[in-house]
Amino acid sequence: MDSCKIAVENIYLLVIVTLLSVLQNVFFVQKIERECNNPHSHASAFERVSCANRNCMDTYPTFLAVMWCAGVCLSQTPAAFAGIIYLLVRQKYFIGYLGQTSQSTPGFLFGKRIISFLCLMCIVGILNHLLGSYFGQNYKEHMETITGAASALLLIP
């Protein structure tokens, strides 16, 4: 019963990250509207901002799916931490796109690494569930420890 209560409390972390990502999307849209309505902006600046927003919106459903899958199937805390880091990286990518497009490359590569980590968490969580269902072996505690430690490695650029 206590583990169920802890799991429900940790789901709030995923909800908070999801709400923050929605607010970030609103920021991106407002930035596009400002560039569009600015008579002094160049067409290339608008195109860069629009392209950055489109790229971020294309990866948004994938990010939400893997973050929630990783949180529900394995561990909420590392998934929420990776989600927060991803939002910061996405902000860096978007701001980098406002300068030269080469400035956005580090944010793009870092974002790919975080999405890969979340995908790996999903796969491990699903495999652990299958092992528990069919063979009676549960490695969830070990996997939570490993992913908790590995999530700190996401901070290394």
CATH label of the domain that carries residue 104: 1.20.120.550
Instruction: Band the pLDDT of 22: cuts 50, 70, 90.
Output: confident
pLDDT surpassing 70 at residue 39: no
Task: State mean pLDDT over 58-79.
Answer: 87
Q: At what angle do helices 2-37 and 76-98 cross, to 10 degrees?
A: 10
- Number of structural domains found in the chain: 1
pLDDT surpassing 70 at residue 3: no
pLDDT surpassing 60 at residue 118: yes
CA distances from 98 to 2, 37, 54, 85, 95 (A): 48, 16, 13, 20, 5
pLDDT surpassing 70 at residue 10: no
Task: State mean pLDDT over 12-40.
Answer: 76
Q: Does pTM top 0.85 for this prediction?
A: no
* Full domain range(s) for residue 24: 2-155
Instruction: Band the pLDDT of 14: cuts 50, 70, 90.
Output: confident
Q: Taking all residues of the chain, what is their mean pLDDT, rounded to a whole number?
A: 78
